[in-house]
Homo-oligomer: A and B are copies of this chain.
Amino acid sequence: MAIKGASCIACPMDPVLRAVTGRWTTTILWHLSTESPLRFGELMGLMPEISAKVLTDRLRMLEKNGLVLRTQKPTIPPEVSYEMTEHGRDLHQALRALHEVALKWDAEGWVPGQGFPDTPVTQAAE
């Protein structure tokens, strides 16, 4: 008889979560999952608050993990575009499900850090 939940200690969730979640990562995947290919500048435009450095870092990481494909045309000025790989597209269902949750919670009046209208407010001690 397995210990409650113990069967998942060594399941492959953790490494996958590290690769596809985290600051900006999931947002980038969501955009590329919704419309591909997207150019570097277009991604910047879709995420006005990300910096070029972080976007580059994330795209490199996703590329290394085989989830995103980078295509460069050697024109002047250069034209670089990104799209999901075949494997990356496996995330489509999960991303769509997350998007639906986002729409639902938004409609229900969810506020980041405060929860839903029916979430009990924890009193701040004086």
Using a CB–CB cutoff of 8 Å, the interface residues on chain A facing chain B are 3-6, 8-9, 11-23, 25-27, 30-31, 34-35, 38, 42, 45-48, 63-67, 85, 87, 90-91, 93-94, 97-106, 108, 110, 112-116, 118-119, 122
Contacts and interface: CB of A to CB of B under 8 A. Distances in A.
Report copies per complex: 2
A115 B13 contact: no
A88 to B, nearest CB: 10
Contact of A66 (B99, B100, B116): B116
A8 B35 CA distance: 11
Contacts of A11: 99, 102-103
Given A22-B23, A101-B90, A101-B94, A114 B64 contact: yes
